[in-house]
Amino acid sequence: MLCMKRYFLLFMLLFPSLFILNSYAVNIALPEMGDSAGALVSPREEYDIGQAFFWRLQQNTELVEDPEVNSYIQALGYKLAANSDEPTLDFTFFMVPDPSVNAFAAPGGFIGVNAGLLLTAEREDELASVMAHEIAHITQRHILRSFERHKRMTVPRTAAMIAAALLGIADPRAGQAAILAVQGGDIQSMLDYSRAHESEADNLGMQTLVASGFDPHAMPSFFEKLQQASRYYGGDSVPEFLRTHPVTLSRIADARGRAVNYQKQQQPSDELQFYLIREKLRVMMADKSSDLLKHYEHVLAEDSNKNKDPLHYGYALALLKAGQHTKARATLQPLLDKDRDRLAYQLALADIELAVGRVSTALSIYEENQRLYPDDKALSMKQVHALLRTGRPQDAANLLQTQLDLGENSRDVFKLMAQAKGDMGQKSQAHTWLAEYYYRSGLLKAAADQLRLAAEAAGHDEYQRAKIASRLREVEKALAQMEQ
């Protein structure tokens, strides 16, 4: 479980004198403090700070890599972003396998959602309300605006204040190194100033929420639920969201007042997918299969009127995780009979086939669904894994290239492409794609090393060597900036 201390450390890693990685100093210099957020840093510099944070995050924890979960959270995020006041901004949405209830925004459009937030939300509107709130923090550049009143801070001092303002200081023991350079009064003034930002993010977030077809009342309702639940917590158990986004009765009342002025704009929505992804994430996060099975057996036995299809789906996945393949198939089959075109059910069926060694059957399922859901990322990525498993790297590479052509640039695509090219005997290409995987993971030195190996493997292919040399210069330039 990620704790507050780790989050502080991740932000510390953005700046010099606070962290050494792979024997070189990480150094991202902030420009002089200006009179406005626009003068503080350029959009490019803002993105570079956020990217450095994202790089360090990936190096310090394994993010959720499941293609179905990621496709869902990204689709929801992009839907909201498209209806924000900055629809052309480049956003990156990702999920952290942390059971605490929280979400956070870093400069440059990087928005993280803790698994605990999705698992706690009872409706998609509630999850969307928090994500819309975080999007507003990004579009209004709240992190940067917070420093307009602190124009003469040193870079390490600025780093500590960014960590404090973004992640909160609920636990005085957490991130001790990050706050050594900051006086208590400065931290308090930052937190006080952030309350105005929270109100602005609530207001703009609600506009985004409504424009995206979600219930405006979901935001105050979810905040109120978290606040009421916090009464039963003690000490360090208070939900992270309440620490980093202080929720007061007046703030909830203001949000409720705004909500009554909006009418939900009905838009097509597949809310069942939210419940299915929630159950899949629940299975992924569970440590003990026995406890997981008992959970589903209990909730399925309860007499209630709610739709139990997501619970049956989760139970089938739990059975699969426990190695009970026959029972998993039997649990999934009624769902398939009811809704055969539901991609989540089809992918679960393919997972069962793979688990019992029927790879060709799983591939048939993938190929059939490509006709219904052409180029779907989750479907394509699972199909790629199966193709590589059966010695069909060219077909796998074709699917991956389609994803790249569609703008997909997540690091798992590059890693799989490197494997496919390697299986095809194209060593130079394999090293090149692996370099891109390392680059997007923030391992710039390793990326440069792979490009040098790619150049060696290219032999007398001058065109390939020229492309590699150009990319190597770009990576080395980025590495030099990090080492300044």
Q: Which residues are annotated as a binding site for Zn(2+)?
A: 133, 137, 198
| C-alpha distance from residue 42 to each of 30, 31, 36, 45, 358 (Å) | 10, 9, 11, 5, 53
SS3 assignment for 266-309: CCCCCHHHHHHHHHHHHHHHCCCHHHHHHHHHHHHHCCCCCCCH
What backbone torsions phi and psi does residue 96 show, to the nearest 5 degrees? -105, 130
User: Residue 351: which residues within 8 A CB-CB, separation 6 or more?
Assistant: 317, 320, 362, 382
Nearest-angstrom CA–CA distance, 147 and 153: 9
Query: Which one of the listed residues 68, 126, 134, 309 is annotated catalytic?
Result: 134
Nearest-angstrom CA–CA distance, 161 and 175: 11
Please say whether the beta carbons of 31 and 41 come within 8 A.
Answer: yes
Please say whether the beta carbons of 117 and 102 come within 8 A.
Answer: yes
Query: Which one of the listed residues 48, 202, 240, 436 is annotated catalytic?
Result: 202
- Write out the two tokens for 35: 């009179």
Closest CA to 258 of 200, 300, 212: 200
Provide the edge-to-edge strand list for the sheet that holds 103-106: 92-96, 110-114, 103-106
SS3 assignment for 343-374: HHHHHHHHHHHHHCCCHHHHHHHHHHHHHHCC
Closest CA to 10 of 52, 47, 48, 41: 52
Nearest-angstrom CA–CA distance, 139 and 141: 5
The answer to whether residue 449 is catalytic is no
Convert 258-272 to b/e letters by CB count within 10 Å (16 or more is b).
Answer: bbeeeeeeeeeeeeb
The answer to whether residue 303 is catalytic is no
What backbone torsions phi and psi does residue 248 show, to the nearest 5 degrees? -110, 165
What backbone torsions phi and psi does residue 20 show, to the nearest 5 degrees? -120, 130
Q: How far out from the chain centre does Cα 247 lie?
A: 24
| C-alpha distance from residue 484 to each of 23, 61, 69, 153, 165 (Å) | 13, 26, 38, 19, 26
Binding-site residues sit at 133, 137, 198
- Write out the two tokens for 22: 């792979």
Nearest-angstrom CA–CA distance, 266 and 251: 26
What residues act catalytically?
A: 134, 202
